[in-house]
Structure 1
Amino acid sequence: MIELPAPGECAPGETLTLAVDPDGGVIRRSVVEPGVRVLTEAMPASRSVSVGVVVPVGSRDEDERLAGASHFLEHLLFKGTRRRTALQISAAIDAVGGELNAFTTKEYTCFYARVIDRDLPLAVDVLLDMITSALITDADVESEREVVLEEIAMHDDDPAGVAHESLAEMIYAGSTLARPIIGTPASIGAIAPAEVRAHYRRWYTPDNIAVVAAGGLEHDAVASAVAAAVAAAGAQWAPSGSARARFIPLGELGTRRPIALPTTVGLAAGTRASGPGVGGFADRRARQRDTEQVNIVIGMPGLAQMDSRRYAVGVLDAALGAGMSSRLFPEVWERRGLAYSVGSFASRSSQAGSFGVYAGTMPAKADATVEVLLDVLADVAANGLSDDEVARGRGQEAGSLVLGLEKSGARMMELGGAEVATGVLIETEESLAGFDAVTAEDVSEAAATLLAGPRFLSTVGPDAEEPADG
């Protein structure tokens, strides 16, 4: 585990070598005036480079009036800067065969590009031009407002997505984590251009952002490209003097009231009613949609990002619902023919998480599907998984980890999350050792803890009803 220096802890110009791989990979970190953090991982065999600018603001940082502002702002930064029009921003990366995109999470926003190694300075310049010098005109806000409203409507047409959003609203009730990242038609419709610009000025400052890159690169070249782009921005882009620390507790953001949320599942019972346990639901929501199937999601509070039990829960997730050899697939699909789509999930953020199962089925089979899902969860909670299931789960987690991290984009995302959210970078070999060390007893203990707490049911589909308790 590599502990990263806190924001403001390192002096500009200082470069730290954090890790050296036997194959020649190197992870380095430095700070460029006036406070921009630069974290890179060299992948010697790669000719591509993925570079991102990560800003530690997401939907959890918004009050109710500004719900969706971070995602709205993400859109607006593509609309033009003092040096480039919207067309020139996209054309610059298109001209070198690259990719330019962005995404917003509950905890941070990331703008990224993927190019061949020789075009890295261009990618850094385009990204930091967007970050430092966005115009955010009234006209752009109004036109992009309509685009975001269309995006919300598109998401509302995805019943599986709606079911998962509804589950999050129940699990994280009372906190900003319960809100959709994209906002609502009411909140997006009400945000004024001046409020969007204030959100931009508050968060998009040199001492808040981090530039992360992975692939065929030299750290000093990345730092030099960042310095040049910052110089091009001019003196108007200045530090705020109040950079966000990592792990800011929920409830200490702005003027938000204190929020009680579990940081581990062991605290869940102390922060909300535990409900009837495996056999019932602490809360249930059914949403009507004119679809052929009912989408069913059963979930519960899970683990925070750095919880020591994350490896055991990862193995549980893989063995329970990942692939055709998982516990759920043969039981729900092969033996009973209840659903074509079935699986499990484990989601973690810096301070909270969720765990659950899902299925899509015909309305006439919805009650039976819920009953079988509950039966499987009850059996796992009571009896755990077999040694063979745990072994397969370990292998699936290890294989997907390594195969995923062969891509420069995945490594860049790992660097970004570590720099702005967790403050620690977990090396691949450490993660592999964590999965290899998981025992059947570890998985059983994690399953019993997760599945004994409050559980929630979300259904979306035609004639959706709240099924009876199992």
Structure 2
Amino acid sequence: MTRIDSRAPAGGGVDAVASTPAPAGATALLDVDEFGGRVERTELPGGLRVLTETMPGVLSATLGIWVGVGSRDESPHLAGSSHFLEHLLFKGTRSRTALEIATAMDAVGGEMNAFTAKEHTCYYANVLASDLPLAVTLLGDLVTDALNTAPDLESERTVVLEEIAMRDDEPSDAVHDLYAETLFGDTPLGRSVLGTVDSIESLSRDDVDGWYRQRYAVPSIVVAAAGRVDHQQVLDLVAAAFGERLAGAARPEALRMGEGAVLAAPARPTGLIHRKTEQTHLLLGSIGMSRLDERRYAAAVLDAAVGGGMSSRLFQEVREKRGLVYSVGSALTHYAGTGSFSVYAGCSPKRVPEVLRLVRAELATVAVTGLTAEEVSRGRGQLKGGMVLSLEDTGSRMSRLGKSELSYGEYLPVREVLDRLDAVDPEQVRAVAADLLTRNTCLAVVGPYRDRDLDRLTA
């Protein structure tokens, strides 16, 4: 199945490439687990990074080509161009039509897809291990040799506008983009990955293709594969797919650090989209911490205990004890240099004031007293179990490789992450809560409210 669905975690005359020996590169063995799995990394000439994780117990493989560019890199004029380009690359290359690309993947029962985020774009395929050469060929062709023709741009422009309309018709999606805008303001992090109707309608072929030529350079690309894969085979297949681009002395792009983009407080206190909905959707949150903050493990335990599951404080206080909502929970989002902590709830409009009162009261209590030892232990266990269970499939393993390289500049073995979570104690959580939960907040609301109502909700 071939799908183009940008909401992330995610035949036909096409022949698999012949294996071509990879050019010399420095290979490092990053991890070997007790089941014989291996994580290896090679930096090829030209600055291309290739990471693989061998999973002996599976018959499939997932390949991802990650590009270190997303909506955070766009100017207002180019808003939505990274996401637009993600769609456009599937329309054809110099050697394959869109139908040939789709037919080739369908013929082997594979899935090919892509997604765009604030700081990266990923193209991926899940196939039988024996069809990995085909996956490398197709994805490599998309990323390196797309045509991006004017007719294709016009047809895909309509698709992207429909995606924006679909987002607008779904309040639970719209409130998240509204929250980002309210928190980060008119900055790249505050703008939607999708762009706006105006920006998409104004993008020209030169704009989008120029973005492709400028930003899809080898030093910004990471190839990650997980499953029944052999590292050397992947290197040889990648060498054939990228060809002469694997040359020169260029090094990988430096790790994104986000300097100069840190806000001390929300850009504005409230954001509102007036809708005659049966349910109000709201997000209450604040500036959080960057992805490289050493306190992120303690913050993750805090988040899990406060709003991460059915035993969390918010779920128990707001839903279980009082039945005010169907859904309530908290979330941590990390970016380079900054981040967000937020609480989402969906409820009847008449219950919004009480829900907000309870949420604020619970956060204030945790900010002062922290969590109990039992809550910290339960939060650690929830995170550890969730992490291990989430890595049972090749797609999750591949994503972990790509994100580790692009977002952190290092790979941490699973057991080391588990050890870091185990090291979190109640005092560390209390200190993080005292900081994170006392910061200035903002409120984003989608529902049947007017601007004059926001003062009452934020009181």
Same-fold call, TM cutoff 0.5: yes
| Distance (whole Å) between structure 2 residues aligned to residue 461 and residue 435 of structure 1 | 38
Task: Mark the CA change 1:136 to 1:203 in structure 2 (over 3 Å): closer, same or farther.
Answer: same
The residue type paired with residue 256 of structure 2 is F
Moved more, 305-314 or 103-112: 305-314
Q: Deviations over 1:146-175 (max 9, x none)?
A: 100000010111212222212211222243
Choose the corresponding residue for 1:296, options 259, 272, 282: 282
Alignment partner for residue 403 of structure 1, among 389, 397, 402? 389
Instruction: Give 1:240 shift.
Output: 11
Matched, 1:454 2:440: yes
Distance in 2 of aligned mates of 1:91 and 1:317: 44
CA distance in 2, matches of 1:350, 1:56: 12
Matching residue of 1:114: 126
Q: Distance in 2 between matches of 1:412 and 1:387?
A: 34
Partner-residue secondary structure (3-state), 1:128: helix
Paired residue secondary structure (1:130): helix
Residue 444 of structure 2 aligns with an amino acid whose one-letter code is: S
Q: How does 1:364-379 map to 2 (within 5 A)?
A: 364-379=350-365
Q: C-alpha separation between the residues in 2 aligned to 1:342 and 1:143?
A: 39
Cα RMSD of the aligned pairs, angstroms, is 2.0
Determine which of 311, 326, 334 is the counterpart of 2:320: 334
Deviation per residue, 1:361-388 (Å, 9 max, x gap): 1111111111111111111111112222
Cα distance in 2 for partners of 1:131, 1:182 equals: 20
1:44 corresponds to which residue?
56
Partner of 2:159: 147
> Residue 311 of structure 1 corresponds to which residue in structure 2?
297
Q: How far apart, in 1, do the equivalents of 2:246 and 2:216 lie?
A: 9
Distance 1:13 1:241, change over 3 A: closer
Unaligned ranges ≥5, structure 2 = 1-22
Q: Which residue of structure 1 lines up, in the alignment, with residue 348 of structure 2?
A: 362
Q: How many residues align?
A: 434
Provide the residue aligned with 2:168 in structure 1.
Answer: 156
Deviation at 1:33, TM superposition (A): 4.7
- Aligned to 2:72, the other structure's residue is in SS state helix
Once the two structures are superposed, what CA deviation does each residue of 1:162-209 show, in whole Å capped at 9, x if it has no partner? 222122112222431111111110111111101111100011122321
Q: 1:457 to 1:109 in 2, by over 3 A?
A: same
TM-score (norm 2): 0.90
What is the correspondence of 1:56-455 to structure 2 with a 5 Å cutoff?
56-231=68-243, 244-250=253-259, 259-261=260-262, 271-272=264-265, 283-455=269-441
3-state SS of paired residue (1:325):
coil
Q: In the alignment, is the contact (CA less than 8 A) between 2:48 and 2:252 conserved in 1?
A: no
TM-score, normalising length: structure 1: 0.88
22-31 or 236-245, which deviates more: 236-245
* Structure 1 unpaired stretches of 5+: 1-10, 251-258, 263-270, 275-281
CA distance in structure 2 between the partners assigned to 1:273 and 1:110 by the alignment: 29
Query: CA contact under 8 A between 1:207 and 1:239: conserved in structure 2?
Result: no
Preserved contact between residue 350 and residue 422 of structure 1 (Cα < 8 Å): no
Partners of 1:349 and 1:414 lie apart in 2 by 16
DSSP-derived class of the 2:276 partner: coil
Which residue identity is paired with 2:262? L
Counterpart contact for 2:257–2:336, Cα < 8 Å: no
Q: Distance in 2 between matches of 1:343 and 1:396?
A: 14
Offset at residue 34 of structure 1 (A): 4.5
Percent of aligned positions with the same letter in both sequences? Answer: 47
